[in-house]
Structure 1
């Protein structure tokens, strides 16, 4: 818990109310050195930091959607075992502060400087990074401050309604796309771009891929907009991210991979029981690329051929030492230099879903589904993909916690891997989203999005549900829907927060309120 406290303290230092957003994380030394104007340094030097901060760390990821989606489980009983993982919020604002302090604030400065220095493409690039950031933030909170961000002198800075926000994002993507396409040979980004080395065509493929991702989010709440935007991305001659060589990788800038630090340095995270259920049950060849085998055979008597043991989401935990011996992540993560921000496998699975929905240029659902699995296996260096794709009998297994039977669960999914053209579309979609889930390890927010909008993959409930009227009650048959608006906003921008709550489907700022695109309606077709 000491580590958590230190991280919270660090975040508090970064935090301020909305009225001072433009002052957050400003380096007093920048802009004053004339040397920064050489080779576009003045506008380009912030990009590696902005890109790095698109992703989160322990409080934002590991103790939130990494746990909620069963990728990881915590052996540590934080705050007497009552915390985010059991649906009682202790950490609310870390990612909010990260995005506004380390992406929105510096990007605002870049956009202003790009205009002053007549370097408009740098402004467009900063806007695209903003879209990447805010599309993640809205998936966590719902309404966010975007179109009114940076407006000074107002008593209250209004939040964007989600329907307005997505329309705005699509419009901005159009504008950036037009400008990038008119300048595909531009090389000004090269020295500042750790992801694509300044290649405009690669950024255009990412832009189309982001459009496709956001379009699919809206498929149940606004199907016409979803189809229009999705087909626009599919039809664009520039294309999408379709090979692993084109994956959007986010540089760690020399830092340790967060999940590696949490797992090996702090012993505060382990394999999730849901991943054990799916990966052991389906005999998934990526298992040892994600996780490490346990040395204690008594932990895996239920499946001795697969020596992996996870911790259930929201588990009953008495002492940290009880489960430190469960599966760590693979030691390969100790030396990685990049994080996966957007992969070709995700595009393949999006295309598979689009094909089920009859979108133009989506191709064949089976081909895309199998391509997504193949791309993921290749990306992680896993073997046995042909055998895996042909398996029509293996299913997720029930989970047994050898330390406490209260954490046991019966698998809710009976999914297999092999594609069956005779299956109903709903079952086909479950297969697509389940494989997409298994492929997006270490970039798990989109899996939480998919789960809320489709109901897939079928994952167990938390073992221990500590939700309460303090933050919202999650009933026994449901899962957490969002994080609440942050404390600094509740006090420093109260009128806007009150209005933003009315934008939520329930009208309440709590963890049980569905986001706009999470309709809660059964079935997907």
Structure 2
């Protein structure tokens, strides 16, 4: 009986030893086994600026939704542009007219809105502008790169100024806080935040510009100004002037203050065609303008007013 107990203990110790060796072996190779050898590492992403650059490209191309072209020539996005811009704005302003009746005349043109169309702009901008902006802010805060955050802030303000003008109060100043329910801000509070963000962005970029006028920010991923600091400052000042004019009847004093600050800045505002903010096509950034697709293109839904 004693010999059996002794043998049993030896067996337990042997099993425990084998388990410890196996566990140690697994732990030693845990990182290796759980790393995809075909995937770029975080260090690679940061070195090529792809970690923030990809998000910035996404923000740029979704302020005004473009049709993204696939390798086979097909595209997506024109339908979203049509709902957000063409049918919800251009048609009411008389710039274009609609040639379709959609949902048996239950659509914007008959003031009988569908829920999907009504909510499309709101959902799209939070998913494709605010979310990538939040990722950029997290990464640039860690990397201490305020100039990159400044560019993201300018594009965000441009996009979200359109959304608050469509919907009024929106979740804005607390976005990205991690709260389960993000509170809505009044439109006045949103505009106040716009001006503060633009002031900060201009300050950061102007400081960089004064130190080195040739310095670039996200040049590889900026399809508007190729990272040109002076152009982004000029654009931000012009956006500030536009927003000031939007509140001229709601708050004349602040409108005047913001407008004068924009035009009196040393770099100034946009004054010539070369200053225009245009998305530039490249070999790795191709698209079709959605107006072509919804007009004379595949949709055949719109005509000039």
1:178 aligns with 2:203: yes
Match of 1:41 in 2: 50
Contact 2:63 2:129 in 1 (8 A): yes
Distance in 2 (CA, whole Å) between partners of 1:77 and 1:42 is 44
- Find 1:245's aligned residue among 271, 274, 294: 274
Determine helix, strand or coil for the equivalent of 1:93.
Answer: helix
1:70–1:248 CA distance, 2 compared to 1 (3 A):
same
Counting only pairs closer than 5 Å after superposition, residues 412-451 of structure 1 correspond to structure 2 as none
Gaps of 5+ in 1: 1-28, 273-525
TM-score, normalized by length of structure 2?
0.76
1:270 aligns with 2:303: yes
Contact 1:173 1:207 in 2 (8 A): yes
Match of 1:53 in 2: 62
Query: After TM superposition, where is structure 1 displaced by more than 3 Å over at least 4 residues in a row?
Result: 29-34
- Find 2:138's aligned residue among 112, 125, 129: 112
Contact 1:31 1:42 in 2 (8 A): no
1:67 aligns with 2:91: yes
Distance in 1 (CA, whole Å) between partners of 2:202 and 2:87 is 36
CA displacement, residues 268-306 of structure 1 (integer Å, 9 cap, x when unaligned)? 11122xxxxxxxxxxxxxxxxxxxxxxxxxxxxxxxxxx
Query: How much has 1:81 moved relative to structure 2?
Result: 1.8
Query: How much has 1:192 moved relative to structure 2?
Result: 1.2
Match of 2:189 in 1: 164
Contact 1:40 1:188 in 2 (8 A): no
Distance in 1 (CA, whole Å) between partners of 2:167 and 2:270 is 27
CA displacement, residues 145-197 of structure 1 (integer Å, 9 cap, x when unaligned)? 1101122243x321110111111111111111111111013323211111111
Contact 2:58 2:132 in 1 (8 A): no
Distance in 1 (CA, whole Å) between partners of 2:39 and 2:185 is 31
Match of 2:126 in 1: 100
> Looking at CA atoms only, which structure, 1 or 2, has the larger radius of gyration?
2
Counting only pairs closer than 5 Å after superposition, residues 323-338 of structure 1 correspond to structure 2 as none
Distance in 2 (CA, whole Å) between partners of 1:221 and 1:187 is 38
Distance in 2 (CA, whole Å) between partners of 1:125 and 1:30 is 28
More helix by share: 2
Match of 2:112 in 1: 88
Query: How much has 1:118 moved relative to structure 2?
Result: 2.1
Distance in 1 (CA, whole Å) between partners of 2:40 and 2:173 is 25
CA displacement, residues 204-262 of structure 1 (integer Å, 9 cap, x when unaligned)? 00010000000001111110000110111111120111110110113463121111111
Distance in 2 (CA, whole Å) between partners of 1:216 and 1:83 is 31
Count, aligned residues: 243
Task: Report the aligned-residue RMSD.
Answer: 1.8
Counting only pairs closer than 5 Å after superposition, residues 85-484 of structure 1 correspond to structure 2 as 85-90=109-114, 91-154=117-180, 156-184=181-209, 185=212, 186-251=215-280, 253-263=285-295, 264-272=297-305
